[in-house]
Amino acid sequence: MENITILGSTGSIGTQTLEVVEKISNEFRVYALCCRKNIDLLKKQIAKYKPEVVCVESFEDKKALENEFRNTKVLFGSEGILELAKDKKTDILVAATSGIVAVRAVIAAIENNIKVALANKETLVMAGEIVMKKAKQFNTPIIPIDSEHSAILQCLNTFNNPYAKRLWITASGGPFLNNTREEMKNFSVTDALNHPRWSMGKKITVDCATLVNKGLEVIEAHHLYNFNYDNIKVVIHPQSIVHSFVEYIDGSFLAQMGVPSMHIPIQYALLYPKRFEGIKTNSFCPFGKTLEFLEADFEKFPLLNLTIEAGKQGGILPAILNAANEEAVYKFLNKEIKFLDIEKIVFEQIEKAQNIINPTLDEIFEADKITRQKINLIKA
Ligand SMILES: NC(=O)c1ccc[n+]([C@@H]2O[C@H](COP(=O)([O-])OP(=O)(O)OC[C@H]3O[C@@H](n4cnc5c(N)ncnc54)[C@H](OP(=O)(O)O)[C@@H]3O)[C@@H](O)[C@H]2O)c1
């Protein structure tokens, strides 16, 4: 049995990971759980899965949990997360927190040779070069959870396939695929959260509506699979059945298909390279009658191009873009700005940015912090 630690256990990926672990409970044991402040749900998870260790954000929550669960060790704050990430009793660390807190945790796990199942986007977007260099140095596997990167891994069958020529990342196109820019101007938070295919956390759902999410996935794929940006393509596939495909040098394309459920890539990441029974599909063909593939509209969704460009430039630009986008998305979710203001804010920060090539982790975090401060000074 392998010990699993889940950072972000109360979130969309975290809760689904627990559902998967429950199904294949002969293979895994929940060793540790970590969230920020959803203590009600964490308490239910502690009662059900009986982890040895948990971690929360505040000291007050730590104290309260210690009083209630006498057999559970309770850590807190960013030091607590780091301690958890280094804990050698963990066999697999599931990095499923949102935000930048996962970056140092993933690096700590890598340095301690703990296999990482990676959902968190910021880790590779902000610090892809540093993280992948460490993973190579310590020979620690990083297995992606995101459905697109999981699909690519399944099509490549290894992290380094010399016959693969191009990676094709599919995108549903989000809720505004068929709307004009004029219409997008007035779209509300409810409109942006109405994703046609996937049910996810709010921030990533808005990123799907702007297609930033797809740009971030291109950056992640570049780092994970060591592919040049020119050989990573984005294709719109509204049905979200083909999760990505790989083009080989002989003209063959291998695609991975599945119903849109994160259970499949989560299970694949936990068990890799083994497979186990999973979602049952009884109908003759569970994918419907039509699969469409359309060109991405870079004019309608300018943040897609900007995100990929920031990835190409590298340095601290992806961190600046990520921070600007996240802050702008939260302003939009709080109804402080309109939907198209998200791109205005992100473009402004990238246009003003002074890049640093080969930055240290501290420089990346500093760029993140300064960008967030600048955006929070902007009045709506
Ligand atoms: N959802 C998807 O289908 C999907 C697919 C691919 C990739 N991803 C990526 O996976 C990550 C998680 O996404 P999600 O949709 O699961 O997000 P989510 O539903 O918002 O959940 C975030 C989780 O992280 C925890 N968290 C946030 N900040 C923390 C901190 N400072 N310390 C400790 N825990 C913290 C939250 O705890 P509280 O609940 O206590 O706040 C929660 O458990 C993101 O980077 C996202 O881009 C998600």
Q: What is the pLDDT of residues 171-196, one digit of tens each?
A: 999 999 999 999 999 999 999 998 77
List, in order, residues 6 or more apart from 8 with CB less than 8 Å away: 14, 34, 35, 94, 95, 96, 97, 98, 102, 119, 120
Which of 91, 109, 144 marks a domain boundary? 144
Above 80 in pLDDT, residue 284?
no
18, 127: one domain: yes
Residue range 88-116: mean pLDDT, rounded: 97
Of 10, 29, 245, give the one whose Cα is nearest residue 147. Answer: 245
- Which of 116, 144, 172 is a domain's end point? 144
Position 280 pLDDT exceeds 90:
no
Same domain, 34 and 136: yes
Which residue type occupies 175? P
Q: Which domain holds residue 240?
A: 149-305
Pairing state of beta strands 242-248 and 164-171?
A: antiparallel
For residue 336, what pLDDT band results from cuts at 50, 70 and 90?
Answer: very high
Cβ–ligand 1 distance for 14 under 6 Å, the answer: yes
Q: What is the distance between the alpha carbons of residues 10 and 284, in angstroms, rounded to a whole number?
A: 35
% of the chain exceeding 70 in pLDDT: 99
Cβ 195 under 6 angstroms from ligand 1:
no
Residue 380 reports pLDDT greater than 80? no
Residue 86 reports pLDDT greater than 80: yes
Q: Is 260 in the pocket of ligand 1 (CB under 6 A)?
A: no
Place of tokens 């902000």: 126
- What is the per-residue pLDDT for 203? 92
pLDDT above 80 for 379: no
Mutate which of 79, 97, 148 to test ligand 1's pocket (most atoms within 8 Å of Cβ)?
A: 97
Distance 9 CA to ligand 1 centre (A): 8
For ligand 1, is residue 62 a contact (CB within 6 Å)?
A: no
Q: Give the separation between CA 119 and CA 103, rounded to whole angstroms.
A: 11
Q: What's the number of domains the chain is made of?
A: 3
How far does the centroid of ligand 1 lie from the alpha carbon of residue 214, in Å? Answer: 17
For residues 358 and 329, membership in a common domain is answered with: yes
**Report field, pTM of the whole predicted structure over 0.85:** yes
Residue 200 has pLDDT above 90, yes or no: no
Is 332 in a helix, a strand, or coil?
helix
Give the residue among 128, 133, 60, 189 at the shortest CA–CA distance from 317: 128
What tens digit of pLDDT does each residue of 111-160 get?
999 999 999 999 999 999 999 999 999 999 999 999 999 999 999 998 88
Q: Is residue 279 very low, low, confident or very high in pLDDT (cuts 50, 70, 90)?
A: confident
Contacts of 142 (CB under 8 A, 6+ apart): 106, 110, 116, 118, 131, 132, 135, 224
| Per-residue pLDDT at 334 exceeds 90 | yes
Q: Given 144, 174, 206, which residue is the final one in a domain?
A: 144
Helices (H), 139-285: 147-156, 181-184, 189-192, 202-210, 212-225, 263-271
Establish whether residue 11 lines the binding site of ligand 1, counting it when its CB lies within 6 angstroms of any ligand atom: yes
3-class secondary structure, 98: coil
Ligand 1 centroid to residue 252 C-alpha, Å: 36
DSSP for residue 173: -
Is the shortest distance between the CB of 10 and ligand 1 below 6 Å?
yes
- Average pLDDT of the residues in 227-250: 97
State the average pLDDT over residues 76-88.
Answer: 97
Is cis: bond before 141, omega within 30 of 0?
no
**In angstroms, what is the span from residue 40 Cα to ligand 1's centroid?**
16
Distance CA 334, CA 329 (A): 9
Q: Looking at the CA of residue 204, tell me the nearest atom of ligand 1.
A: 47
- Residue 79 and residue 202 share a domain: no
Determine whether the shortest distance from the Cβ of 121 to ligand 1 is under 6 A. Answer: yes
